[in-house]
Copies of this chain bind each other. A is one copy, B any other.
Amino acid sequence: MPRRSFWAWGMEADEPTLAQLQETALQLSSRYGVDVETASPHTPTELALRAPRLSPPDDLAGICSTDDWDRAYHTYGRSYPDRVRAFRGEFPSPPDVIARPRGEEDIERLLEWCTARGYHAIPFGGGSSVVSGFEPEADAEGVVTIDMERLDRVLEVDEISRAARIQAGVYGPALDSQLRPYGLTMRHFPQSFEYSTLGGWLATRSGGHYATNHTHIDEFAESIRMISPSGAWESRRLPGSGAGPSPDRMVLGSEGTLGVITEAWMRLQGRPDYRASAGVYFESYEAAWQAVRNVVQAKLWPANLRLLDATEAHLAAGMDGRESLVVIGFESTDVPQGPNLRDAVDIARESGGRVSNDDLIISDEGSADAGRQGPVGAWRESFIRAPYAMNATVPLGLVHDTFETAITWDRWPGLDESVRAAVTEALERVCGGGTVSCRFTHVYPDGPAPYYTFIGMGRRGGEIEAWSEIKRVASDAVAEAGGTITHHHAVGKLHRPWYDNQRPDLFAEALRAAKRVLDPAGILNPGVLIDPL
């Protein structure tokens, strides 16, 4: 049976072959001017895990596994250090038990068991975290990871209101196929879509493919249901409310520390019949982001509005490496989008952009594949494939990661300058060189969400130390420039030091007090987001 890779993105079949690694090594050697050695792909038969330190009670044994592969697979997410450690076969602190509840009663009993024994209980969605979002604490005395994959159904569809009640464990593609017969879709496509779940999106405030207007999953939640050690929590299903602070907003971003999200009523969309898109070229990077600012402040709300700097435009869309690219895309179920695209393109041209009218791809004017051709299509393909790219770079010993933030426009140029300088310096110092590049993944009228990629050559065996130094430098630079430590990758354990400086201290105290109400024994996902005490 096909199995997920425990270190690569995707399935075991997505792990690179020796021939693929050799080819990638050649490409990277020439692209970055570094000497990339090929490496043997890892074979996962060498696992030697610590024995499970606990065994589930009889009434839970049927939904629990202590299999080594299963426990290894649930140890790490898909961040750079996660992949390196898993590739090396280093699993010093795996969970002891993997539980797969069939419903809320199972979850209640699991939380009772963990509360009574003081075991850590870690909710697990698709395992795509890049922030150590579910990695067990090294000093835990027992760890039960709760994999929600069996709660994978759309339970109810309200076609009138365009909403559905959906179980939290459903993966992106399965969700989309269950909604398809109704002609509806959530259209929330984070880059992790294939291997992430609704519950994970809600717990981490994921960012979807909509680049403007409603970007985070937050906006799509009508109501959320969660099981905490103190009982069930369910908000009323409403299109909007002003009755006190929003209960959902306390759950959104709680990263498994307050309870296990079991289901939610989610807002849906009609499937888009109308699409219009264009790639606009800019000789000047500043002109490109000013164009993005002007388009978003005009509130045309394109579904896609992404800036790729010259490096990204070269790698993702095959451009010349000197020009920046702004990708603009509209979509609608009901209304032709040509006029919106033309308005946006006019604004982009006024800001110095270049695109021929022949290159506006508009579905209602006969272009069936609007958004899937030219530089826009290349960008789309690159976006979808990006998580797989690290499957080849990790085994080759490259230090390769991304980080992202959001910042108001007034401080954006300063942030970009200082982040690039800091990361370039760190790459030089740690890796002897490398590249840093930037795109915008989401854009607001008051500022962009920039997304940086860096890559350099690591020293075999020292990759994590190298990565760690660059990540620290990057995070410091983002924080000092006034950005958020994460726009849509969550806090986890990885971003804790910067998050702790970012949120109001009194808010952290208030959140801890709320956690004590919901999780009195402090068993839920310790180490992530906040400390229980």
Taking beta carbons and an 8 Å cutoff, which residues of A are in contact with B? Answer: 158, 160-163, 204-207, 213, 215-216, 222, 228, 230-247, 249-255, 267, 270, 293-294, 297-301, 332-335, 339, 343, 347, 406-410, 442, 444-449, 482-491, 495, 499, 502-507, 509-511, 513-514, 516-518, 529-530
Contact A243 B162 (CB under 8 A): no
Report the nearest B residue to A234, measured CB to CB.
Answer: B504
Given contact pairs A233-B507, A510-B514, enumerate 9 new A-B contacts (beta carbons under 8 Å). A239-B445, A241-B484, A243-B499, A243-B503, A244-B499, A245-B249, A245-B254, A298-B333, A299-B332
A216, B207: Cα distance in complex, Å:
21
A410, B159: Cα distance in complex, Å:
8
Question: Within 8 Å CB of A251, what residues of B?
Answer: 245
Contact B158 A408 (CB under 8 A): yes
Contact B241 A486 (CB under 8 A): yes
Contact A506 B495 (CB under 8 A): no
Q: How many copies does the complex hold?
A: 2
A49, B514: Cα distance in complex, Å:
41
Contact A490 B245 (CB under 8 A): no
A510, B228: Cα distance in complex, Å:
12
Contact A267 B506 (CB under 8 A): no
Contact A247 B507 (CB under 8 A): yes
Contact A482 B517 (CB under 8 A): no
Contact B240 A245 (CB under 8 A): no
A256, B25: Cα distance in complex, Å:
61
CB distance from A461 to the nearest CB of B (A): 33
Contact B408 A222 (CB under 8 A): yes
Question: Within 8 Å CB of A252, what residues of B?
Answer: 245-246
Question: Within 8 Å CB of A506, what residues of B?
Answer: 228, 230-233, 517-518
Question: Within 8 Å CB of A487, what residues of B?
Answer: 240-242
Knowing A298-B335, A334-B347, A445-B267 touch, does A242 contact B488 (C-beta < 8 A)? Answer: yes
A233, B213: Cα distance in complex, Å:
27
Contact A238 B486 (CB under 8 A): no
A335, B162: Cα distance in complex, Å:
29
Question: Can you sample 6 A-B contacts with CB below 8 Å?
Answer: A215-B240, A238-B483, A239-B445, A240-B449, A242-B487, A298-B334
Question: Within 8 Å CB of A301, what residues of B?
Answer: 301
Checking B158, B300, B489 against A335 with a beta-carbon cut-off of 8 angstroms, the contacting residue is B300
Question: Within 8 Å CB of A514, what residues of B?
Answer: 510-511, 513-514
Checking B161, B247, B406, B488 against A238 with a beta-carbon cut-off of 8 angstroms, the contacting residue is B406
Question: Within 8 Å CB of A238, what residues of B?
Answer: 406-408, 447, 483-484
Question: Within 8 Å CB of A491, what residues of B?
Answer: 243-244
Contact A246 B240 (CB under 8 A): no
Knowing A332-B298, A513-B514 touch, does A484 contact B245 (C-beta < 8 A)? Answer: no
Report the nearest B residue to A514, measured CB to CB.
Answer: B510
Task: Determine which residue in A213, A250, A252 has the highest number of CB atoms from chain B within 10 A of its CB, and name it.
Answer: A250
Contact A446 B267 (CB under 8 A): yes
Contact A245 B253 (CB under 8 A): yes
The 4 A-B pairs with the shortest beta carbon distances in the complex, nearest first, are: A239-B447, A510-B514, A249-B249, A513-B513
Question: Within 8 Å CB of A442, what residues of B?
Answer: 240
Contact B407 A504 (CB under 8 A): no
Report the nearest B residue to A528, measured CB to CB.
Answer: B244
Contact A504 B161 (CB under 8 A): no
Contact B160 A490 (CB under 8 A): no
Knowing A233-B504, A233-B506 touch, does A239 contact B408 (C-beta < 8 A)? Answer: yes
Question: Within 8 Å CB of A489, what residues of B?
Answer: 242
Report the nearest B residue to A240, measured CB to CB.
Answer: B406
Question: Within 8 Å CB of A250, what residues of B?
Answer: 245, 249-250, 507, 510
A204, B245: Cα distance in complex, Å:
9
Report the nearest B residue to A512, measured CB to CB.
Answer: B517
Knowing A206-B242, A246-B249, A449-B240 touch, does A504 contact B235 (C-beta < 8 A)? Answer: yes
Checking B204, B243, B347, B486 against A502 with a beta-carbon cut-off of 8 angstroms, the contacting residue is B243
Contact A513 B517 (CB under 8 A): yes
Checking B216, B234, B267, B511 against A240 with a beta-carbon cut-off of 8 angstroms, the contacting residue is B216
Checking B206, B241, B407 against A239 with a beta-carbon cut-off of 8 angstroms, the contacting residue is B407
Report the nearest B residue to A509, measured CB to CB.
Answer: B517
Question: Within 8 Å CB of A158, what residues of B?
Answer: 408-410
CB distance from A390 to the nearest CB of B (A): 21
Report the nearest B residue to A443, measured CB to CB.
Answer: B239
Contact A446 B408 (CB under 8 A): no
Question: Within 8 Å CB of A236, what residues of B?
Answer: 482, 484, 502-503
A484, B165: Cα distance in complex, Å:
19
Contact A253 B242 (CB under 8 A): yes
Checking B237, B246, B517 against A253 with a beta-carbon cut-off of 8 angstroms, the contacting residue is B246
